[in-house]
Amino acid sequence: MSILELIAKGLTNIQIARELHISKYTVAQHVAKMLERSNAINRTDLVSRSYATGILQNSSMIPGMLTRADHSC
């Protein structure tokens, strides 16, 4: 699983580092570079832009994530 996918799941840098067996500083560097390259203002914006551009495919990758259709009454 990629750092971006783990960000989309809501993991913190420390949790991502543990999951991928890398330094939290390495994660922070990757996140900073992704934010810069995507012109995102924060992690939420990064994930949103990633879905919008197709870098992340769909919400089925994230267990428990609800789609708009799931919210209908």
Dihedral angle computed from the Cα positions of residues 31, 55, 53 and 67, in that order, rounded to the nearest 10 degrees? -100
pTM for the full predicted model: 0.76
More confident residue, 73 or 49: 49
Q: What is the pLDDT of residue 68?
A: 42
Distance of alpha carbon 36 from alpha carbon 68, whole angstroms: 29
**DSSP label at 42?**
S
Q: Cβ contacts of residue 10 below 8 Å, gap of 6+?
A: none
Q: What is the pLDDT of residue 58?
A: 74
User: What's the pLDDT tens digit per position in 29-54?
Assistant: 999 999 999 999 999 999 999 999 99
% of the chain surpassing 90 pLDDT: 75
CB 17 within 8 A of CB 26: yes
